[in-house]
Chains A and B, each alone.
Chain A
Amino acid sequence: MINLKGRSLVSITDYSKEEILRILDIAEEFEDNQRQNILNGYVIGSLFFEPSTRTRLSFESAVQYLGGSIIGFASPDVSSVTKGESLKDTILTVSNYSDLIVMRNPLDGSARYASEVSPVPILNAGDGANQHPTQCLLDLYSIRKTQGTLDNIHIAMVGDLKYGRTVHSLVQALSLFGATFHFVSPDSLKMPSSVKTWVKNANLEYHQYTDFMDVMPIADILYMTRIQGERFPDPLEYEKVKNAYILENSMLENTKDNLKVLHPLPRVNELNEDVDDNPKAYYFQQAKNGVYVRQALIAAILGLK
């Protein structure tokens, strides 16, 4: 029996294949029956040191569908962080008031550190450019839901593969299931060699492209990403590549019937709005799946499922 009670989730590699599948199965239960009053009397700490729409609100929504309470802040401006309080002290304080802490923080590795000092489990809601494991789990959930399986899919990842943390985690996770990877990016935003080594070590294949259209006929999943201006050290470099890949509805004509377009959102201009009405567009449903997956994680970590 898989038991995740008391376990922090910092990096997607903290969980085994079986543990990932367990979370997805529990999420499926919540999709069928979302309102379950199992968190009655529990308090969840929610510490967002950086802005977020989907992640923060879907965590709040998950807690409330389960009948729990949530405390915390959506911006460090309203906390003692502005007085220079250390991360350790903030975590130790909030752990006195809650059963589990959800945290987003701009520093890489802050979630691992928080999990070491905290007496209650930490759910990493994004630590800088490093990890965003709950996004990864909702991506996996969306892939399994739309393809019927996670095994041996062809996934095309498009855009910022260098700085995009979601694609790095997703490669690591899908490597457990035997995927074939198609990486589409400008030369300056190619997948880092450490991630490609990960694929090689799993004895899987990857292919690299600069032309978007090359992957259209072969992909089961088209995973679009935003080219993130805020991650570029040089603004000129950003200007050069920001419009490199824009998906338009007409480009989906000769694609597989089972293809679904995913995007972690927010989008800027890389997904034209005329794609939204195409049945192959799945990104808003994907964001909705985030609530089920976060319900599953909270319930499993608190030992309630």
Chain B
Amino acid sequence: MKNKRTELKVSAIRNGTVIDHIPSEVVYQVFGILNLDQTNSQVYLGTNLDSKKLGKKGIIKISDKFFKDEEISKIALVAPNATLIEINDYDVTKKGNVHLPENVDKIVKCINPKCVTNNQNVPTSFKVTEDHKGNMKLFCKYCEKTMAKDNIEFN
């Protein structure tokens, strides 16, 4: 007798990128910040999948798309433990964790309405830091305000 299948199989992609180990609660946010609602490529999105590491996880597979450093920084800001896998002709050609950069430039909006970056034509620039509890924070190079992860809004 055949073994009963215990997991959902999602089609493999020929060329493109798999973003794995996304916490389920941010999978739609990752989808949004990468503007995947506007792509013409095939996109598979899975959420609440079983994961040994996270309990529940999300996964996004995008055909014919390879992300630039700036886009990988965005993923790292909302899903710092995600894995990025690049596929070429069905083979994994690159696999690794996303990394938080030391600085986040241009892509995030400063939370302070009086910051010069919200009032003049000045691109934002943040230093990635941690508070004493180890929570990731962004420190605005200009207004010197510190912003928590929950307040991150992308430009």
Contact = CB atoms under 8 A, between A and B. Distances in A.
A17 interface: no
A112 B141 contact: yes
B40 interface: no
A108 B120 contact: no
A110 interface: yes
A108 B145 contact: yes
Give the most central of B114, B131, B144: most A CB within 10 Å.
B144
A129 interface: yes
Contact of B116 (A87, A194, A200): A87
Interface in B92-145: 112, 114-117, 119-122, 131-132, 140-145
Given A109-B140, A109-B143, A130-B143, A86 B121 contact: yes
A197 interface: yes
Interface residues of A, number: 19
A6 B124 CA distance: 25
B142 A109 contact: yes
A87 B120 contact: yes
Contacts, number: 51
A129 B114 contact: yes
B143 A108 contact: yes
B132 A197 contact: yes
B73 interface: no
A131 B144 contact: yes
Contact of B112 (A11, A108, A197): A108
Contacts of B131: 197
A203 to B, nearest CB: 13
Contact of A88 (B114, B120, B140, B142): B120
A284 interface: no
B121 A108 contact: no
B102 to A, nearest CB: 18
A200 B144 contact: no
Given A113-B120, A113-B122, A108 B146 contact: no
A112 B141 CA distance: 8
Contacts of B141: 109, 112
Contact of B114 (A86, A112, A128): A128
A57 interface: no
Nearest to B119: A107
A127 B145 CA distance: 13
B126 to A, nearest CB: 12
A110 B146 contact: no
Contacts of A86: 120-121
A178 interface: no
B144 A130 contact: yes
Interface in A94-143: 106-110, 112-113, 127-131
Given A88-B120, A200-B132, 19 more contacts: A11-B144, A86-B120, A87-B116, A106-B114, A107-B114, A107-B115, A107-B116, A107-B119, A107-B120, A108-B114, A108-B145, A109-B122, A110-B120, A112-B116, A113-B122, A127-B116, A130-B143, A130-B144, A131-B144
27 contacts: A11-B144, A86-B121, A88-B120, A88-B121, A106-B114, A107-B115, A107-B116, A107-B120, A108-B143, A108-B145, A109-B115, A109-B117, A109-B122, A109-B140, A109-B141, A109-B143, A109-B144, A110-B116, A110-B142, A113-B116, A113-B120, A127-B116, A128-B114, A128-B143, A129-B114, A197-B131, A197-B132
Interface of B: 112, 114-117, 119-122, 131-132, 140-146
